[in-house]
Amino acid sequence: MKIAITGATGFVGKKLVQKLGVDNQIIVLTRNLDKAKSTFPTTLQSNLEFVQYTPKALGDWQNKLDGCDGVVNLAGAPIAQRWTPSYKKEILDSRELGTQIIVTAIKNCNHRPKFLINASAIGFYGTSETATYTEISPPGDDFLGQVCQKWEKEAHKVQEAGVRLVIFRLGIVLGDGGALAKMIPSFKVFAGGPIGEGNQWFSWIHIDDLVNLMVSAIADSNIQGTFNATAPYPIKMSELCDKLGDVMNRPSWLPVPSFALELLLGDGAKVVLEGQKVLPEKTIKEIKYNFQYSDVKSALQEIVD
């Protein structure tokens, strides 16, 4: 297959390229060619083509989509930083406008890709300490809920061109990077603990399971629709930190106070402090995916090891 990928140098994208690039031709759509080329081992690069693109504007790069078997769109500005008004606009634009541009480029192809795999997030549902969300749950009305709705709306427009669409609403991805990379250093120096009160839900997925889910969706033309990319057993933040302490042989005793996170992230702290309990019901039923890491302790052990 020939597959174009945006967000290919990110935490998830890099792992996906490494998985797919062994047996497929990958077009890495990137804003920074030098960074992209230095991200992947030279042994893999014979199957990679690096193409500079502008996420918010059409250009010559769109010609590279013509004749591709599919596109994976993972691009989006990070949310784990302070949400100033200008940065909130960047969070939205990088997803809504970025996806609109990708969909337009696909529609413009003479030989269109057969599928689009598009990222979304469990932020779609809003936050709650009591509710349980599945793929049929309504969207939240907070900022991230609105962002995800607009993001997914643009992705759905690709179906007008007869292109198969799969949307994955990503939970918090655990792996060698991402959220866990910010937590492990404090545990190493015996200063780890839950964020806030620790009662908030933490809906997670091991990065290997996420990548394998995406590969399954690429390979099976019968898979389409919107799916929660979360492990089947979400946990509370306090339990996550207890398990992380266990596998690192460190205590989990020093909570990060809510006000400290709010000072660092502003409105963005709400996602971490409130959380949501999300179940992958449709993912299990329709994709029939067998999670390699359904237990958070085994997931953490693999990552820490």
State residue 262's pLDDT score.
Answer: 66
What pLDDT score does 228 carry?
A: 98
Residue 268 lies in a domain: no
pLDDT on residue 34: 92
pLDDT on residue 76:
94
**pLDDT tens column, 81-108:** 888 999 999 999 999 999 999 999 999 9
- Residue 264 is predicted with a pLDDT of 58
pLDDT value for 286: 94
Q: Is residue 51 part of a domain?
A: yes
Which domain covers residue 161, as residue numbers? 2-171+207-230+279-286
Q: Is residue 185 part of a domain?
A: no
Q: Is residue 259 part of a domain?
A: no
- Rounded to two decimals, what is the model's pTM? 0.94
Which pLDDT value is given to residue 198?
83
* Stretches in the chain below the pLDDT threshold 50: none
Q: For residue 190, what are the CA distances in angstroms to 61, 183, 238, 248, 257?
A: 48, 11, 16, 10, 17
Q: Judge whether 291 lies within some domain.
A: no
267, two tokens: 């409105």
pLDDT at 209: 98
**CA 19 vs CA 22, 24, 199, 206, 214: distances in Å:** 6, 9, 36, 15, 10
User: What are the residues facing 120 on neighbouring strands?
Assistant: 169
Q: What is the 3-state secondary structure (H, E, C) of the chain?
A: CEEEEECCCCHHHHHHHHHHCCCCEEEEEECCHHHHHHHCCCCCHHHEEEEECCCCCCCHHHHHHCCCCEEEECCCCCCCCCCCHHHHHHHHHHHHHHHHHHHHHHHCCCCCCCEEEEEEEHHHHCCCCCCEECCCCCCCCCHHHHHHHHHHHHHHHHHHHCCEEEEEEECEEEECEHHHHHHHHHHHCCCCCCECCCCCEECEEEHHHHHHHHHHHHHCCCCCEEEEECCCCCEEHHHHHHHHHHHHCCCCCCCECHHHHHHHHHHHHHHHHHECEECCHHHHHHHCCCCCCCCHHHHHHHHHC
> How many domains does the chain contain in total?
1
Look at residue 300 and tell me if it is in a domain.
Answer: no
Query: What CATH number did the domain enclosing 46 receive?
Result: 3.40.50.720
| pLDDT for the residue 60 | 95
* 178-211 pLDDT, tens digit each: 777 777 787 777 666 777 778 889 999 999 999 9
Residue 181 lies in a domain: no
Q: What is the distance between the alpha carbons of residues 145 and 204, in angstroms, rounded to a whole number?
A: 18
